Amino acid sequence: MGEVYRARDSKLKRDVAIKVLPEGFSHDPERLARFQREAEILASLNHPHIAAIYDLADVEGSRVLIMELVEGETLAERIARGPIPIKDSLSIARTIAEAVEAAHEKGVTHRDLKPGNIKFTTDGDVKVLDFGLAKVRDAGGNPTSLATAATMMTSSVPGVIVGTAAYMPPEQAGERKRTAPRTSGPSAACFTKC
């Protein structure tokens, strides 16, 4: 949904990641609204295991997200290198669960959590990336104005499934019920007690 580049912030003297809409979408009002929504979602999250957003800016006529640069390999790349020791796997899973739980506490459901959206920093820390398909709900579990803003093509359209099929929960894939953070059952217990 966007192209990500490494850039240098000349004002603050740091490297950053810049996410830019592809040229074909840079003037599409629905794509621009979705991009704005992603920026707002990221700005609402402040957690050490979620990549931070620094700014939403206009650069040479294009809207860009300026974000924390997370250098290192993705979990997908790490898995491809071979088995991960169980102790390390549990630590990685716990860290991801803590980040997801922090998002859930803010009413944000990632909806595209997969190994390609998890990165290891050069210090070995874990970061959850790419909230571009996230859904936002208020404290009562109802979609908020962010959630009803433009997403893929329009806001939540019945029959349109967003995410990566191999990694989405059955309720998201089959649209049997709303996609929302789990508050009971085995998965919820693991995320809160592991």
Query: Residue 94: how many CB atoms within 10 A of its CB?
Result: 15
Instruction: List, for residues 22-62, the tens digit of each pLDDT value.
Output: 877 878 888 888 888 889 999 999 999 999 999 999 888 78
CATH architecture of 3-68: 2-Layer Sandwich (3.30)
Name the nearest CA neighbour of 108 among 41, 34, 175. Answer: 41
Instruction: List, for residues 59-83, the tens digit of each pLDDT value.
Output: 887 889 999 999 999 999 999 999 9
Residue 111 · residue 171 · CB < 8 Å:
no
Number of alpha carbons in the 13 Å side-chain half-sphere of residue 63? 18
Burial class (CB in 10 A: 0-12, 13-18, 19+), 112: buried
pLDDT, position 194: 39
Number of alpha carbons in the 13 Å side-chain half-sphere of residue 48? 4
The CATH code for residues 75-193 is 1.10.510.10
pLDDT, position 56: 92
Instruction: List, for residues 162-189, the tens digit of each pLDDT value.
Output: 556 555 555 555 554 555 555 544 444 3
Q: Is the pTM of this model over 0.75?
A: no
Q: Can 3-68 and 75-193 be said to share one CATH topology?
A: no
* Spatial separation of the C-alpha atoms in residues 94 and 151, rounded to whole Å: 29
* Spatial separation of the C-alpha atoms in residues 52 and 49, rounded to whole Å: 9
Instruction: List, for residues 102-156, the tens digit of each pLDDT value.
Output: 999 999 998 889 999 999 999 999 999 988 888 888 655 565 544 443 333 334 4
Name the nearest CA neighbour of 125 among 75, 86, 174, 185. Answer: 75
- Classified as helix, coil or strand, 55 is strand
Which ranges of 45-85 does DSSP label H, i.e. alpha helix? Answer: 75-80
Active-site amino acid positions: 112
Segments making up each domain of the chain, as ranges: 3-68, 75-193
